[in-house]
Structure 1
Amino acid sequence: MTIDSWKPGATRDIEPQASSFRLPPLAAYVHIPWCVRKCPYCDFNSHAAGPDLPEDDYVRALLADLATDAGHVYGRKLTSIFFGGGTPSLFSATALGRILDGLERQVGFDSDIEITLEANPGTFEQAKFADYRALGINRLSIGIQSFQADKLKALGRIHDGGEAIRAAAMARRAGFDNFNLDLMHGLPQQSVADALADIDQAIELGPTHLSWYQLTMEPNTVFWSQPPELPEDDALWEIQEAGQARLAEAGFVQYETSAYARDGRRARHNLNYWTFGDFLGLGAGAHAKLSSPDGHIVRTWKTRLPKDYLNPDKAFQAGERPLAPADLPFEFMMNALRLVDGVPTALFSERTGLPLQNIEAACRQARQAGLLAEDEQRLRPTERGQLFLNDLLQHFLP
């Protein structure tokens, strides 16, 4: 069954969901797959940009892709948009404006929509970013990773610490009062002092949000086949504890495994993922989660390579996977239990259509193991559950 044939009331080989299901909020992820250079740790669908970036062709393809998916909106407006990559800031404001116009025309925006653009310090131009802000893009996510020259070199980054500092200042001058900085820890030859120095420098730049996460070796990357020497487990644990304490002292509240926010500026787009909301996925390799009013949910993904995505003889969609009722407890918990405070218990039935009784036994076992909190109002991990999230999620496997 293709997603185009997936309409309310259609006959399927999976049983219908309970009447408690409510259509969730809708977001959009727009993937721009090009970077100046591929980083050795990166396993995202990104490709080194050549001298001629096919910006116009790609925007046309994105808008055509959107037209094929717009029938699954069911009257909802977008609560958030995230331009990810790759490096979306390689695209001009004119190109991004055309994409936003298409999204607003074909779907529509909530009045307080959050629109985020990923950017790297090496692609910052103040005039360009003022133009982005004028389009209505109201949040930046800047890929810093580290401010230290030796760490940036080890990570294969094209910017230096000075550019990273200037990028944050340029963002403010361009009118962005809401921006995230991405930082990594557990880097080659990194000490606790090194990690804390990066955090201190980031805090000084005044972001509203920090994504602080550990470098991991992922398959199909240069680091997987040629791994650098990383800190030992004891050092990694010391970095984690010291870094979390420093962030808390500065008023950054951890609300997800690797996300910290000040002044309530949690990333609404990511919160939509973690609370099992719906999202359109536009662009090469983009993934989506889409629900119909009768409670059936499907995950889809687009063709991965830019040359294939741009080929008019090829379909945008590469595959889909309808979620059977047996899949839903794990799919829901895999997202919700990343949140430090979890989610309201009632959200499980609202987003899956399943009665809470379906997970009562699993919850009881997880609580007995000390991984899920004794809280009737919320499904939330304990501190132990946060540390051993994979063990917690095992209880909800089909």
Structure 2
Amino acid sequence: MTHSHPASSLIIGGAASSPRAPLPTLPPLALYIHIPWCVRKCPYCDFNSHTASPVLPEEEYVDALLADLDQDLHAVYGREISSIFFGGGTPSLFSAEALGRLLKGVEQRIPFAHDIEITLEANPGTFEQEKFVAYRKLGINRLSIGIQSFQQQKLEALGRIHNGDEAVRAAGMARQAGFDNFNLDLMHGLPDQSLDDALSDLRQAIELKPTHISWYQLTLEPNTVFWNQPPVLPEDDTLWDIQEAGQALLAAHGYAQYEVSAYAQPGRPARHNLNYWSFGDFIGIGAGAHGKLSHPDGRIVRTWKTRLPKDYLNPAKSFQAGEKALSNDEMPFEFLMNALRLTAGVESRLYPERTGLPLESLAEHRREAEQSGLMQVEPSRLAATERGQLFLNDLLQKFLS
């Protein structure tokens, strides 16, 4: 498949206001692969996902993904990939054969780190569980299983097509298939959810002994069914009680919170996510995928790909929908929007290393954030206080030029 790459399709903006220092070293490089199809679109979902037809265009899509990657290779020559993340949609709808051909094609183009982390998002339906063994044999070594809740009433309210028993079985089958590292995705603040309901879900997840739990509050996003027809969500006081009690429960069972909604057993945070939050680089391939690449001369460029699967698969259209070079003025916000989500923040030296800008350029805004109690007074780290984590948007506003 050959796609044209007309310059007119690119949106290039944000030219740097002054030259940045060349980056001393390039950050770690990851690969994000977007597979946009789902059995059914959930009413809360604002991701680029589309209801699958009975037969998925696996062959054509893998061809397109590799051709898309080919067009990005010039920007990452000589680098290796430290992690791969298959997101969606529901990537586990794809056969092991298709994913195997894709991974082989990627590795022929870019070397893999010897300890590469390869994560696949999967749904708990029995159809996907049968593939877990085959996925493990491909070198996929981490699963992220979308549970959301174990309670039938809540699953129905969320438009999920699995039941609680399937969710429990999925974790067991992942382990049997050889996955000693897997995440369970769980939501709280669900329609009509009580504190007991939320903690019951969390206890059930902990009982399954995943290495990682993503536990986050349901939010109503524009362009979703829930946005247009909002369900009745718990009161703010209940949401606060759920958050506090849930965090205490996770901590008591050895799951340390390392990011706003991510909790991991010791040594088991998601390496792909950590790279993302610490302003690492990532290539994004697939319909609607985003990427961010640093260049030795100090340029940092964000890219985004054609969103609709039919357009992405159309040889007459470009894979890339746009790109934007980050300006010096945008850099503090762009860097901290990621780094301050981490509960421990990042080492201060990472800012000049990853942006090419001096740490002193943050000094004034940083002092203001520290004085308002939103940022920790710790010269060697850039980190939010507990209050700053709760009011992250307010904290980030201080770094907008």
Give the TM-score of the pair, scaled to structure 1: 0.96
Deviation at 1:3, TM superposition (A): 12
* Distance of aligned partners of 1:325 and 1:21 in 2 relative to their CA distance in 1, 3 Å threshold: farther
Indicate the residue corresponding to 1:349 in structure 2. 352
Q: How far 1:108 sits from its partner (Å)?
A: 1.1
Question: What residue identity is the alignment partner of 1:116?
Answer: T
Q: Which of the numbers 176, 179, 191 marks the counterpart of 1:176?
A: 179
Higher relative contact order (CA 8 A, sep 6+): 2
Deviations 1:93-123 (A, max 9, x none): 1111111111111111000000000001115
Q: Is the 8 A contact 1:19 1:353 kept in 2?
A: yes
Residues in 2 aligned to 1:264 and 1:28: alpha-carbon distance in whole angstroms: 21
Partner of 2:3 in structure 1?
none
Question: Structure 2 counterpart of 1:60, which letter?
Answer: D
RMSD: 1.5
**Whole-angstrom distance in 2 between the partners of 1:111 and 1:16:** 36
Of 332, 336, 348, which aligns to 1:333? 336
Cα distance in structure 1, aligned partners of 2:39 and 2:126: 9
Structure 2 gaps, min length 5: 1-5
- Say whether residues 1:130 and 2:133 are aligned partners: yes
Q: AA paired with 1:289?
A: K
* Structure 1 Cα separation of the partners of residues 394 and 358 of structure 2: 24
1:126 CA drift (Å): 4.2
Aligned to 1:372: 375
Give a deviation string over 1:304-323, Cα, whole Å, max 9, x none: 00000000000000011110
TM-superposed CA distance for 1:264, in Å, is 1.4
CA–CA separation in structure 2 for the residues paired with 1:26 and 1:98: 21
Letter in 1 for 2:162: H
State the AA in 1 paired with 2:148: Q
Q: CA deviation at 1:125?
A: 4.2
Is 1:101 aligned with 2:101?
no
| 1:71 alignment counterpart | 74
Deviation string 1:278-303 (CA, Å, 9 cap, x unpaired) is 10000000000011111101101000
Take 1:3 and 1:260, find their aligned partners in 2: how far apart are those partners? 43
Once residues 72 and 381 of structure 1 are traced to their aligned partners in structure 2, the CA distance between those partners, rounded to angstroms, is 33
Partner Cα separation in structure 2 for residue 179 and residue 83 of structure 1: 14
Question: Would the aligned equivalents of 1:22 and 1:295 in 2 still touch at CA under 8 Å?
Answer: no
> Which residue matches 2:325?
322
Q: Where in structure 2 are the equivalents of 1:244-263 lying within 5 Å?
A: 244-263=247-266
Q: How does 1:106-125 map to 2 (within 5 A)?
A: 106-122=109-125, 124-125=127-128
The 3-state SS of whatever aligns with 2:329 is helix
- 1:84 has 2:78 as partner: no
User: Is this contact kept in 1: 2:9–2:320, CA < 8 A?
Assistant: no
Q: Which of 159, 162, 165 is equivalent to 2:162?
A: 159
What does residue 56 of structure 2 align with?
Answer: 53
How far residue 395 of structure 1 moved from its aligned partner, in angstroms, is 1.1
Q: How many residues in Structure 1 have an aligned counterpart in Structure 2?
A: 392
2:237 partner amino acid: D
Partner SS for 1:130: helix
Where structure 1 has 5 or more consecutive residues not aligned to the other structure, the ranges are 6-11
Distance, in Å, in 2 between the alignment partners of 1:3 and 1:249 is: 55
Q: Distance in 1 between matches of 2:8 and 2:134?
A: 36
Aligned residue in 2 for 1:9: none
Q: In 2, distance between residues paired with 1:123 and 1:23?
A: 42
Measured in 2, the distance between the counterparts of 1:42 and 1:140 equals 20
In structure 2, what is the equivalent of residue 62 of structure 1? 65
Aligned to 1:141: 144
- Tell whether 2:176 aligns with 1:188: no
Stretch moving more, 203-212 or 93-102: 93-102
Match of 2:44 in 1: 41
1:8 paired residue number? none
CA contact (8 A) 1:126 1:174 kept: no
- Displacement of 1:22 in angstroms is 2.5
Alpha-carbon offset, residue 189 of structure 1: 0.7
TM-score normalised by structure 2 residue count: 0.95
Q: Secondary structure of the residue that 1:121 maps to in structure 2?
A: coil
SS at match of 1:374: coil
Counterpart CA distance in 2 for 1:14 and 1:123 is 54
Q: 1:2 to 1:393 in 2, by over 3 A?
A: farther
Paired residue type of 2:47: F
